[in-house]
Amino acid sequence: MRTLRRERGPVQTRGSWLRRWAAGVSMALLVPLTTTVAGTAAPAEAGFNAAAFDFWVDSGMGPIKSRVLRAADGNTNRVVYVLDGMRAPEHLNGWEIETDIPNALARANINVVMPVGGMSSFYADWNSPSSFFGVPGTGAPNSGSGAANALSGGPGKSYRYQWESFLTNDLRNALADRLGFNRFRNGVFGLSMGGSAALTLAAYHPDQFSFAGAYSGYLNISAPGMREAIRLAMIDAGGYNVDSMAPPWGPQWLRMDPFVFAPNLVRNNTRLWIAAASGLPTSTDGPNINTVNGMALEALALANTRAFEVRMATLGARNVTYSFPAFGIHAWNNWNDEALRMIPDLSNNIG
């Protein structure tokens, strides 16, 4: 039976979530991480959306494309940024490729902004271009999968990722200046990497984001084993080096950890939607390696999310909805269903 709880709700015991944490980390380290981020069959209406349009904006990373879908009623006041996962491709945002959620948001009279690209970036401003042993990525663009891409070319390797600056300055201002979009009280949500990033953006830019949603996010990245799990995930998803993103355990890394910056979210009274499934497959998840990997990744995300829930409870947070479906793995069918559950709450807390 699906669990959907508002506000604080009952809190698990420390021993319970620690056991889940240990199990999740152990499983995640045994499989190629992030394999199932785009591995599940998409809903029937998913794919390139002719109603959306390309929106190019100059940035410190060069020209960056976003895809924009206008609200059905033509308003410019209600805006949501939709963030991708670790394998974010360079041609379309995963939400457009894999789901019909952008259309569902537009029908709810919300303008949809879908940044394109940022593979393994965590939508952060990186410390340096991604490199290993001082050797920058060169040659052909990476394929998006496997450690063989560690020394390949690609986004964020010949230049430094500056995604937070782009989303909160360059893109924000261009949307306002060129389309008349509201600069304030926007929403932001994402999956996995994008879920963690959504909370980071809301924590440090409360005037821009009044709502943030995190699905299957890694919300306790400073916990034992998490940096190395993320290291393996980033190597597998395009050959990126976590040490180029942020030095280990320093202020830059801690700034990205939702468990650490949770007080900001409480103080800002940001409306939050926090979700992670059980890791048990649904009837649509086939008996294959993607499902096995997705189970392990979701178990890890669930452990992180439960730890974040406890942290928020200790802070007296009353600005959160938690969603813990009884079935679901680290895959698009899970995130599609979660977005449909979230849209009414998003709609009520932006604009």
Question: What DSSP assignment string belongs to 280-305?
Answer: ---TTS-SSHHHHHHHHHHHHHHHHH
pLDDT digits (tens, 9 = 90+) for 40-82: 333 434 578 999 999 999 999 999 999 999 999 999 999 999 9
Query: How high is the mean pLDDT of the chain?
Result: 87
CA neighbours closer than 13 Å in the CB half-sphere of residue 227? 17
The stretch 118-135 carries a mean pLDDT of 92
pTM of the model: 0.87
- Percent of residues, the chain, with pLDDT higher than 70: 82
205 is catalytic: no
323 is catalytic: no
pLDDT digits (tens, 9 = 90+) for 154-177: 899 999 999 999 999 999 999 999
Look at residues 326, 331, 295 and name the one whose alpha carbon lies nearest to residue 30: 295
Given the residues 164, 298, 309, 338, select the one marked as catalytic. 298
What span, in angstroms and rounded, lies between the C-alpha atoms of 120 and 235? 9
Residue 136 is assigned to a structural domain of this protein: no
* 138, pLDDT greater than 90: no
In which band, very low, low, confident or very high, does the pLDDT at 24 lie, cut at 50, 70 and 90?
Answer: very low
pLDDT at position 141? 54
pLDDT digits (tens, 9 = 90+) for 251-295: 999 999 999 999 999 999 999 999 999 999 998 998 999 999 999
For 159-178, give one letter per residue: b (16+ CB within 10 A) or e.
ebbbbbebbbbbbbebbeee
* 224, pLDDT greater than 60: yes
Contact residues for 16 (Cβ-Cβ < 8 A; gap 6+): none
Residue 137 is assigned to a structural domain of this protein: no
As given in the structure block, the two tokens for residue 339 are 């977005």
Given the residues 120, 196, 330, 338, select the one marked as catalytic. 330
Residue 30 is assigned to a structural domain of this protein: yes
Q: Which range marks the domain in which residue 169 is found? A: 3-127+155-222+248-348
The stretch 189-194 carries a mean pLDDT of 98
- Percent of residues, the chain, with pLDDT higher than 90: 78
Residue 134 is assigned to a structural domain of this protein: no
pLDDT at position 143? 57
pLDDT at position 178? 98
Residue 139 is assigned to a structural domain of this protein: no
Residue 243 is assigned to a structural domain of this protein: no
298 is catalytic: yes
pLDDT at position 271? 98
Look at residues 301, 292, 308, 230 and name the one whose alpha carbon lies nearest to residue 20: 301
CA neighbours closer than 13 Å in the CB half-sphere of residue 1? 1
Residue 277 is assigned to a structural domain of this protein: yes
pLDDT at position 249? 87
Given the residues 120, 121, 131, 192, select the one marked as catalytic. 192
Q: What is the number of domains present in the chain?
A: 1
Residue 12 is assigned to a structural domain of this protein: yes
Domain CATH for 186: 3.40.50.1820
CA diameter of the chain: 53
What φ, ψ does residue 65 adopt, rounded to 5°? -95, 140
Question: What DSSP assignment string belongs to 84-98?
Answer: --TT--SSS-HHHHH
